[in-house]
């Protein structure tokens, strides 16, 4: 009984964390990267968002680089492509990286 309760709490925590990450993504990232990571939004096209449903695109970037870009922002040739999201926690950032990795697995 105790084990079942522990498992239920654990599962709820995991699912909630996932839902939070998805909410952050749809609120703060989807306008450029697209709801499924395609990057084909108006802003995404303007800034040159890549297609993260493409596994070749995913292969070229490490988890560390992704996390750094989310935290500190990304500049290409001196131009800001994306500003950093300094208010996100490391846990949220790890979750966002995992979420973006899943775009290529569908």
Residues making contact with ligand HEC (CB under 6 A) = 28-29, 31-33, 39, 43, 47-50, 61, 65-66, 69-70, 74, 81-82, 85, 96, 100
> Least Å distance between CB 72 and ligand HEC?
10
> Least Å distance between CB 88 and ligand HEC?
7
Residue 99 CA: distances (Å) to CA of 2, 25, 37, 44:
32, 9, 9, 18
Please give the angle made by the CA atoms of 65, 67 and 73, to the nearest 5 degrees. Answer: 85
Looking up tokens 């096209």, which residue turns up? 45
> Least Å distance between CB 5 and ligand HEC?
34
CB of 53 or CB of 70, closer to ligand HEC: 70
CB of 5 or CB of 87, closer to ligand HEC: 87
CA distance 59 to 29: 20
């Amino acid at each position: 009984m105790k084990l079942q309760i522990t498992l239920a709490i654990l599962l709820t925590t995991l699912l909630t964390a996932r839902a939070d990450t998805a909410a952050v993504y749809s609120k703060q990232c989807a306008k450029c990267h697209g709801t499924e990571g395609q990057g084909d939004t108006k802003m995404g096209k303007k800034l040159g968002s890549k297609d993260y449903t493409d596994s070749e695109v995913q292969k070229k970037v490490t988890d560390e680089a992704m996390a750094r870009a989310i935290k500190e922002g990304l500049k290409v040739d001196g131009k800001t492509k994306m500003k950093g999201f300094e208010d996100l926690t490391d846990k949220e950032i790890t979750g966002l990286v995992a979420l973006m990795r899943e775009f290529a697995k569908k």
